[in-house]
Amino acid sequence: MQRTGDLKLIQELNRSIILKTIRHYGPISRSEIAKRNKISPTTVTAAVRKLLQQGLVCEDGVGASSGGRKPILIRFSPDSRFLIGVSISNSAIKIAEMNLVADVCREKVFPVRALTGQSIIAYVLKSIGQFLSEYSSLTKCIGISIISPGIVDAVQGVIRYNSKLRLKDIPLKEIVERRFKLNTWLENDTNAILLAEKKFGAYAKYENLAYITIADGVGAGIVINGSIFRGYRGGAGELGHTSINKDGIHCDCGNIGCLENYVSWPAIYSKVLSFIAKGKHTVMLELAEGDVTRISPYIFRCALDKGDQVAKDIMEDIATYLATGIVNLVNLFNPEIVILGGEIVYDNHFLLSRVKKLVSQRALNVLTDGLEICPTSLGEDFEVIGSAAVILQDIFNFSLST
């Protein structure tokens, strides 16, 4: 005799399979759902009825008849629920409300202003609380998804290590769930954005790819044969902490000559200030209205577009260092494509073309044959879209493989 618990589990599994089918193939008829999944029409009808009651799907017109009555089509309703995506970086916390296909409905940015350790955790909680305070009800919120740079144990929901934010063994998932009583997910930022590129971006067809983000730091997400490569303790992809100069700059991690100290935004900003201190003319000062503290990645890119010599000299330097890191990554992992993201890379054709040329010259020829180096396809909201991808992958159980 089948137990009630077993029956309920089977019903939930069937409903999950059917919802996944509707998301992928909808608008679709009930009979087509049954045929695709080899499930009885009665089971499909019951599951669809439940999904309609929950608002996750809706009826959407009629399909072509094969002789009898025209079938009613069912489609996914992405606006029936929402999620909260949170992106933590060294300079800002971005929080967004998104629907179930990662469309951004509302977004706020909370500047970090050099907070570290427990202070940054407290600020994350305060920022989330402020964002959530604008809702009269959270009954339609499926949860909070947080992405963070550094070594992250996604299974346990723990930030294992972040040198710049001075975080070690922080059980952030548990802390957030306890505070806000909402299911919470935690993932490394580059892994999350790479997942989003596979599911919401232009790079779904690739099975071996790397995503490199250049922002306050430098990190990499790596997919091998369709699966995220996490390493032994979740630390794979710390490209920013690979050594490129044994006599170089001391890094917060304790090492010397780490890549991110040469190509991240703080490194670029430092070079800009150095040029200005030497009396070099740059349009960046004009764009920042004479206030060096207002020079941002956006202003730097604008200066580059205007042909500013200081910006071009710095970018040439950055491209050389970045290409060195990418050559090492290509020679180690042999990806089909390397995706570049981050505020520095966004709409930066100068950097992209220079890096492509240098990698082609320096990496093993057999590994660069057919290799593509492309910018992120997710637009300016790439970080929060990455956070959405984490929660949606878990809830809708989609695979990285095409």
Among left, alpha and beta (phi > 0; psi -120 to 50; other), residue 223 is beta
- Chain centre distance of CA 361: 30
Residue 363: its pLDDT value, please? 95
Residue 397: its pLDDT value, please? 65
Residue ranges of the chain whose pLDDT lies below 50: 1-2, 4, 399-400, 402
> Contact 365/186 with Cβ under 8 angstroms?
no
Residue 402: its pLDDT value, please? 44
Residue 16: its pLDDT value, please? 79
